[in-house]
Amino acid sequence: QVQLVESGGGLVQAGGSLRLSCAASGRTFSRYTMGWFRQPPGKEPEFVAGISGSGESTSYADSVKGRFAVSRDNAKNTVYLQMNSLKPEDTAVYFCAADTTWPRLVQTSATEYDYWGQGTQVTVSS
């Protein structure tokens, strides 16, 4: 069983920045591919970014490329999402998720992830 706890969400003006954190339980964190997803109001969850267990491979949705950066610290069992140049359309509940199938490339489908955090709200005002 893996528990994931996100933090760092909040209200920010357009053009601002936020850093989300996701702390994970478990002694094999370095084997988990980690993903960030978001769910805007009234919409389905969408892939935002992902990072392989070693941190060597990352993947981003086109909508966030060049603005968001995913990273991880395996010593701290934590994955991060640095969000810069935020736009109102980035407003959503953001979730981190763990894919415990190892080894595997970063997956972009939510169905490939086994464990999910409770989510953290990000609101970007115009």
Q: What is the pLDDT of residues 37-83, one digit of tens each?
A: 999 989 999 999 999 999 999 999 999 999 999 999 999 999 999 99
* pLDDT given at position 102: 85
Contact 60, 67 (CB under 8 A): no
- The amino acid at residue 37 is F
* pLDDT given at position 26: 81
H/E stretch holding 82 reads strand 78-83
Task: Give me the chain's average pLDDT, please.
Answer: 96
* pLDDT given at position 83: 98
With 0-12 / 13-18 / 19 or more C-beta atoms within 10 angstroms meaning exposed / middle / buried, residue 98 is buried
